[in-house]
Amino acid sequence: MDEDQTQQEEGEIQSVKIKKDKLTKQSKGQAFITFRNRDSAEQARKKFNNQVFIENKIRVKPYFNFHKVDKKANIFIRNLPEDADYLELEQEFSRFGKVLSVDVHRDQSGKQLNYGYLQYETKEDAEKLMKRILNHPITHKGKLMKLEKFKDLSERKANQHLFTQEHLHLNIVVRSFEYGWLLVIKDYLTRVQGDQVMDCFVRIDSVTKQPWAIVTFETYKEAKANLDKCEALRKHPCFNSNSQKVIELIKKYGPPVNSDGSISFTIEQITPFFEEMNKDPHDIFKGENDNFFFNLAYNNLLKIDERLMVIQNIKKDVTKDQILEFLSQFGRVISLKIGKTKNSRIQFQQCFVHYQTMQDLKRARSELFDDKNEKTIKQRKEIFKDGHPVESTKKKLQSWQSIVQG
């Protein structure tokens, strides 16, 4: 696109300034274009953003001086989807005030990252949005966005002592949440369903911050009945609780006791955390999670998870996102890990994919190797060498499973 063409299509341009490296004098791939009126600039932004220009996809966004705007009107956005559309985000956030910019960050290759910044004109507009999400969280393309007010360096330094204090209480919080989940699960299984529960072990994952549990039933029949319920519902009713009910259960049964006879925490210590959690729309004890996952083991030695597939012969240039999109059409994928073969003479990738249910896995295994489905055959040619996926044998899968879980 040249300047004359742009003037004819989108309005008169007042100036064009291309950013260049001071030493090499080469373009940095950035330019500032000033239009004579705001409407023309806005029209050009919407028309040319994400368009291909000289074999490159360009990004067009409004310019403003960050040093002159109200910092308290800036909001940090987390958990954005990979295909986040900043124009759609801008339209959504404009319902709460005048938006100066929405910026989704990218890596060096140009790929969008899962975070960005939102700048309102006034702090009142930003506060209006933050109050709104307390009761009405905002999603974008199926993902729940997490918003935080921007904090400058002085504010972060002032809050550093709070981190130390929070760190001291961290073990108590985690332990109380784990114990709370244990009581919720056992209470539902025994009181509501009448199951005989021999043992229940709960931990909160240090990375995902999500709880997981191992429940030991008295009989195989009870374990299988609960597994079937998970298969049918893709969740379990025992996980639908809230922090208020949990603190009542802890008061009823009392805090857990350590091996030396001392209690792990007091009711007074944990009550503030549960009261705060009760106000949070993302209450951890509500238990709704798309990644709900379950498995049945027949003894203490956990067998190979039958929902795991190891698929080989993937082209080396195929990305994780491409594989995930392909495999997700057969059922809900809980996790996907990519690994390359250690043999340098054989250049291919392999993936470890967990499906949520056995039905999902059976469908995937059936349709993945279906040589009569033209759509699947076409997709396989884009993903696999020679268009042929290869599933590993059980013997190999056993050794690889230990690597994945480790």
The Cα 381–Cα 40 span in angstroms is 45
Q: Which of 74-83, 199-208, 298-307 has the highest mean pLDDT?
A: 74-83
| pTM beyond cutoff 0.75 | no
3-17, 49-63, 109-123, 252-266: the lowest-pLDDT one: 3-17
Element (DSSP H or E) covering residue 30:
strand 27-35
Give me the pLDDT at residue 157, please. 47
pLDDT reading at 278 higher than 90: no
Q: Look at 55 and 273; give whichever has higher pLDDT.
A: 273
DSSP 21: -
> How many other CB atoms sit within 10 Å of the CB of residue 139?
11
DSSP character for 393?
P
Q: Which residue has the higher pLDDT, 358 or 366?
A: 366
Q: Whole-angstrom Cα distance, residue 247 to residue 179?
A: 10
Residue 322, amino acid = Q
Amino acid at 144: L
Q: Could you give the 3-state DSSP secondary structure of residue 74? A: strand
What pLDDT does 337 receive?
82
For residue 403, the model assigns a pLDDT of: 37
- pLDDT greater than 70 at residue 141: yes
Contacts (Cβ under 8 Å, ≥6 apart) of 307: 295, 334, 354, 355, 356, 357, 358, 360, 361
pLDDT at 165 over 60: no
Beta strand 99-106 pairing with 112-120: antiparallel
Q: Which of 56-65, 170-179, 260-269 has the lowest mean pLDDT?
A: 56-65
* Residue 299 scores a pLDDT above 70: no
In the prediction, which pLDDT does 380 show? 92
Average of per-residue pLDDT across 102-131: 84
Under 8 Å between Cβ of 70 and 97: no
Residues 401, 308: Cα–Cα separation, whole Å? 9
Confidence check: pLDDT of 262 > 50: yes
Whole-number Å distance between alpha carbons of 217 and 224: 10
The C-alpha atoms of residue 237 and residue 229 are separated, in whole angstroms, by 9
Can you spell out the DSSP letters for 164-226? HHHHHHHHHHHHHHHHHHHHHHHHIIIIIS---EEEEEEEE-TTT--EEEEEEESSHHHHHHH
Q: Which residue has the tokens 């290759």?
A: 109
SS (H, E, C) 119-153: EECCHHHHHHHHHHHHHCCCEECCEECEEEECCCH
Share of the chain above pLDDT 70, in %: 73
The rounded distance, in Å, linking the Cα atoms of 291 and 332 is 9
Identify the band that residue 249 occupies on the pLDDT scale cut at 50, 70 and 90.
very high
Q: Is the pLDDT of residue 7 over 50?
A: no
**Domains of the chain in sequence order:** 3-57 (3.30.70.330), 70-156 (3.30.70.330), 167-286 (no CATH), 308-405 (3.30.70.330)
**Closest CA relative to residue 186, chosen from 236, 232, 231:** 236
- Please determine, for residue 394, whether its predicted confidence score (pLDDT) is greater than 50: no
| Residues in CB range of 98: below 8 A, 6 or more apart | 120, 121, 122, 125
Q: What whole-number distance in Å separates Cα of residue 285 and Cα of residue 244? A: 9
Residue in 268, 114, 107, 245 with CA at minimum distance from that of residue 188: 245
Judged by average pLDDT, the poorest of 28-42, 149-163, 374-388 is 149-163
pLDDT of residue 302: 41
- 406 pLDDT higher than 50: no
Q: What does the pLDDT look like over 204-245, one tens digit per residue? A: 766 556 677 888 888 888 888 888 887 777 777 777 788 899
DSSP letter at 392 equals P
Between 39 and 56, the more confident residue is 39
Alpha-carbon distance of 232 to 227, in angstroms, equals: 9
Phi-psi region of 88 (alpha: psi -120 to 50; beta: other; left: phi over 0): alpha
What is the pLDDT averaged over residues 328-357? 76
Six-digit token pair at 172?
């108590």
pLDDT at 200 over 90: no
3-state secondary structure of 296: coil
Place of tokens 């921007």: 150
Q: Retrieve residue 10's tokens.
A: 């989108």
pLDDT tier at 404 (50, 70, 90 boundaries)? very low
80 by Cβ neighbours in 10 Å (0-12 / 13-18 / 19+) ranks as: buried
